[in-house]
Amino acid sequence: MTEQEIKKEKIKNTIYVFIMLSVSGMVGLLAHFLKFDKQQAMSCAIFIMIIMATLLFWTFRLAIAFVGIGVLMGTNVLTLPTFIRECKIDVILFLVGMMVTVGVLKELGLFTWIIQSVITIRHITGVTFVFIIAVLGAFMACAVDEVTSIVFIATLVFQVCDTLKIRPTPFIIIGVLGTNIGSSGTMLGNPVGILIGQKANPPLSFVDFITWSFPIMLVTLTASILILLYMYRKDVRLMTERLTARRQLGLGLGPLVKVPYKSGLAVLLGMISFIAMHHYIELKLGLAPNTVLIVAPLVIAGLLMLWRHERARHYIEADVEWWTLLFFMMLFAVAGTLEETHVSNRIAGYFLQAFGDKPSVLLPVIIGVSAIGSAFVDNIVFVAAFMPIVNNLEHTPLLWALLHGACLGGNITMIGSTANIVALGMLEKRYRTHMYFFEWLKVGAVVGVITCLISWGGIALLSPYMPTPQQRQEARLVMEKSEGYNSHLAISDTNIVDAN
C-alpha cells in the first residue's frame, strides 16, 4: 500500500467513525426527545452503533460489539445476569454442534459424493444445472446451514465453470439466491430461524417450520429459478453448448473417485430425523420445549468427536466459526437490552399506533421492513431487535413474515447475508474478480421483491389456518397431558420462556 493509499484509508476510516458516532448519538438524542429514559436511550444508541459497525467496519464488528457491551455494563444499562441470559447460549451451542457435524460430514466425503453425483448426470444442460444448484443450495441450507451450503455450491459451480471455461458469476449468484431462499425453509437453514424458533412465545418447533414455512419456500424458489433462467439465459445457453461439445468428446466434468459416503449420509439423515422428532421426544421425556432441538446437534457432534477423536480438536478449533458466534452473542445481548429496558415494547406500541393491529396490514409491513433492513444489515441484527416487537404483537403469521423478510431480503444486495459475503469472497479469491454492487442489485432486487411478494401472498393464504400463540400453547398442553407430561415442569418452562 502506498503512502497516499494509507492516507486515504485513514481519512475514510475517520469519516466512518464520525458517521458511526454521529448516527449513534442522534439516535440517542432522538430517544431522549421521545421521552425514553437514560437507559433506554443508551441501549438504542449502542444498538445502532453496532449496526453501523457491521455496515462500515465489517472486520472490526466484533471488537466494536465488545466495546458496546462494556459501555452498556459500565452505565448499568446491562447487568451481568441479564447479559448471561440474553446472549442466547442455547442458540450458540446449537450452532456449535451444527458446525462440528458439518465439518465431520465434509471429511466423511458426503459433500464430495453429492458433487460427483451432479457432475455425472447424463445429458445435463445449462437449464438442468441452474435447477440443480438452486434446488440443491436451498435443500442443503435447509438440512445444514446457508454458509455450508454456499461453500458446497460454489465449489460445484467453480468445478463446472472452470472445466467449461465459462464465467462463474451468474451461477454463483443463482446458487446464493437459491441458498438464501432455502434458508427460510427450516429452522436449521439460517441462524435467524433458530432465533425466531427459540424466542417465539411459545417456541416454534421444527415441524412448525416444515408445515408453515417450507411450502412457501418451495414456491418462492420455483419462481426465482424461472426468473433467473430468464435473466441469465445467454450464460445458460453458452453452458448448454459447452456441455454438449464436451459430451461429444466423451469428456467428463471432473475426476470421479469412489467415495465411502454412506456413513456421512447416515449421520446427516440421523441428525435431521433426530431434530425433526425433537418435539415428540421432548413430550415423551417430559423436557422443556426445544431442549432436544438444541441438544441434538451437540450430542451428535459429541458422538462424532468420540468416533474421530484424533480430529476432535480440529473440528472445534477450525470448523466452528468462533468469530461469528461471539459476535452473535454480543448482538443478542445488546438486542436483549432493548427488551430489558422496554424499548421493544415502546417500539411495538408505535408500530401498533402507526399500522394498527390488523395482521393484513402488519404482514407486508414486517416483511418489507425486515427485507429492506436485511438487505443492508446482517439479518440476525434485525431479527434480534424485531423479535420482541413481533412477540408483543401476538400474531403467529408475523413470525413467518419476519423469517421470510429477513431471509429473502438478504438476496437484494451483495452484503445482505453471510452466504453472499462468503460466496463473493470465494469468487474473489479464486478469480481475483470483483462483483459490482449494481451487478448484484439488478438481479437481487428483482428476485428479492418478487419472492417477498410471493411470501406475503403465501403467508396471507395460510394465515387463517395458522394457530394463534394461545392455540399453540393450548395444543402443547393437550399433547403434554396425553403424554403424561409433568404439568409443573411445563408451567415453569413456559414462565421461563415468558420471562425471556
Q: Does 117 bind other proteins (CB under 8 A)?
A: no
Task: State the minimum distance, in angstroms, from the CB of residue 432 to other proteins.
Answer: 7
Q: Which is nearer to other proteins, 143 or 348 (CB)?
A: 143
Are the C-beta atoms of 216 and 404 separated by less than 8 Å?
Answer: yes
End-to-end alpha-carbon separation of the chain, Å? 49
Task: State the minimum distance, in angstroms, from the CB of residue 65 to other proteins.
Answer: 32
| Whole-angstrom distance, CA of residue 497 vs CA of residue 39 | 24
Near other proteins by CB under 8 A: residue from 60, 158, 214, 376: 158
Q: Binding mask 292-311 vs other proteins (x if CB under 8 A, - otherwise)?
A: -------------------x
Task: State the minimum distance, in angstroms, from the CB of residue 301 to other proteins.
Answer: 16
Task: State the minimum distance, in angstroms, from the CB of residue 151 to other proteins.
Answer: 10
Candidate segments 11-19, 157-165, 214-222, 351-359, binder of other proteins by CB under 8 A: 157-165
Candidate segments 21-29, 250-258, 358-366, 394-402, binder of other proteins by CB under 8 A: 250-258
Task: State the minimum distance, in angstroms, from the CB of residue 140 to other proteins.
Answer: 14
Q: Which is nearer to other proteins, 155 or 240 (CB)?
A: 155
Task: State the minimum distance, in angstroms, from the CB of residue 422 to other proteins.
Answer: 14
Candidate segments 152-160, 167-175, 202-210, 443-451, binder of other proteins by CB under 8 A: 152-160
Task: State the minimum distance, in angstroms, from the CB of residue 184 to other proteins.
Answer: 27
Task: State the minimum distance, in angstroms, from the CB of residue 426 to other proteins.
Answer: 10
Q: Does 249 bind other proteins (CB under 8 A)?
A: yes
Task: State the minimum distance, in angstroms, from the CB of residue 267 to other proteins.
Answer: 14
Near other proteins by CB under 8 A: residue from 25, 74, 260, 270: 260
Q: Does 251 bind other proteins (CB under 8 A)?
A: yes
Q: Does 416 bind other proteins (CB under 8 A)?
A: no
Q: Does 429 bind other proteins (CB under 8 A)?
A: no
Taking alpha carbons only, the member of 424, 463, 419, 478 closest to residue 137 is: 419
Are the C-beta atoms of 413 and 441 separated by less than 8 Å?
Answer: yes
Candidate segments 106-114, 124-132, 173-181, 340-348, binder of other proteins by CB under 8 A: 106-114
Q: Which is nearer to other proteins, 313 or 442 (CB)?
A: 313
Taking alpha carbons only, the member of 259, 192, 222 closest to residue 131 is: 222
Q: Does 106 bind other proteins (CB under 8 A)?
A: yes
Q: Does 425 bind other proteins (CB under 8 A)?
A: no
Task: State the minimum distance, in angstroms, from the CB of residue 249 to other proteins.
Answer: 6
Near other proteins by CB under 8 A: residue from 2, 59, 250, 358: 250
Write out the binding residues for other proteins, residues 206-245 only, by CB under 8 A. Answer: none
Task: State the minimum distance, in angstroms, from the CB of residue 254 to other proteins.
Answer: 5
Contacts of 360-366 spanning 24+ positions with Cβ under 8 A: 360/460, 362/393, 362/395, 362/398, 362/401, 363/397, 363/398, 363/401, 363/456, 363/459, 363/460, 363/463, 364/401, 364/456, 366/390, 366/398, 366/401, 366/402, 366/405
Candidate segments 108-116, 120-128, 282-290, 490-498, binder of other proteins by CB under 8 A: 108-116
Candidate segments 159-167, 347-355, 363-371, 415-423, binder of other proteins by CB under 8 A: 159-167
Are the C-beta atoms of 102 and 315 separated by less than 8 Å?
Answer: no
CB atoms within 10 A of CB 4: 8
Contact set with other proteins (CB under 8 A): 106-109, 111-112, 115-116, 155-156, 158-159, 163, 165, 249-252, 254-260, 311, 432
